[in-house]
Structure 1
Amino acid sequence: MASLEECRAAVGKVSERILEVDPADRRKHIAERTVNLTVTDLDAVFDMRLTEDGLQDVVERGTDAAARRAQVGISVSSDDLVALSEDRLDFAKAMFGGRVKLDASFGDLMRLRKLL
């Protein structure tokens, strides 16, 4: 099981990877969305905004703390989060294999798949 610190670093890596995408593609495929990332085995949630400038306003909370429903919800184990951020685990395979759960509108899914 990865630590909370490793998960924080993984979120940072994902944000950096978003910034590696061509700016024109980011403008085309990223619509600003609120996101909550639940790390299932650590009982932690990272609330953030997905923007053209990466993941912004990242705030950590416990799963028992009340929060507004995000437009995109992701649930994943700590080890899988770290593996995804390091590109050792394919997002689509993890999602279809049940290792990542994604709660988003169909339109958001179609946009995000272009970046994955």
Structure 2
Amino acid sequence: MATIEECRQALDGLAQRLAGADAATRKKASLDRKLACRITDLPATFVGRLHDGQLTDIERDDDGSGQITLSVSSDDLVALVGGTLKFSSAFATGRVKIDASIFDLVKLRSML
């Protein structure tokens, strides 16, 4: 099981990767939504802001909710961001769950 700090580092790494995406990719993924990431095997939730194809303002907020909610185990979060777990297979097998509108899911797909 990954630690809360490792989860935070993974989310920071994701934010850096999104910030480094080219302008066309960021434009396709343009959303302005509050994102909550619930770590299912730890008592932790992180919230941040998705806007202009970037993830910013990441903070730990265990009571936080978002317009988009991602639920994932600590190890799977680290593996997803580290590139050793493919998002599509993790989503298809239920290792990652996303609660979002269909419109937001389509937009998120272009980011991943």
- TM-score of the two chains, using structure 1 as the length reference: 0.89
Cross-structure match for 1:72: 68
Equivalent-residue separation in structure 2 for 1:56 and 1:41 (angstroms): 24
Structure 1 stretches of at least 4 aligned residues deviating more than 6 Å after TM superposition: none
Equivalent-residue separation in structure 2 for 1:57 and 1:103 (angstroms): 20
Equivalent-residue separation in structure 1 for 2:15 and 2:52 (angstroms): 10
Cross-structure match for 2:85: 89
- TM-score of the two chains, using structure 2 as the length reference: 0.92
Identity of aligned residues (%): 43
Matched residue SS, 1:34: strand
Unaligned runs of 5+ in 1: none
Unaligned runs of 5+ in 2: none
What is the alpha-carbon root mean square deviation over aligned residues? 1.3
The count of corresponding residues between Structure 1 and Structure 2 is 112
Distance 1:53 1:105, change over 3 A: closer
Per-residue deviation, residues 54-102 of structure 1 (Å, max 9, x unmatched): 221111023xx3x4x4110000000000000111111111011010010
Task: Give the C-alpha shift of residue 28 in structure 1.
Answer: 2.5
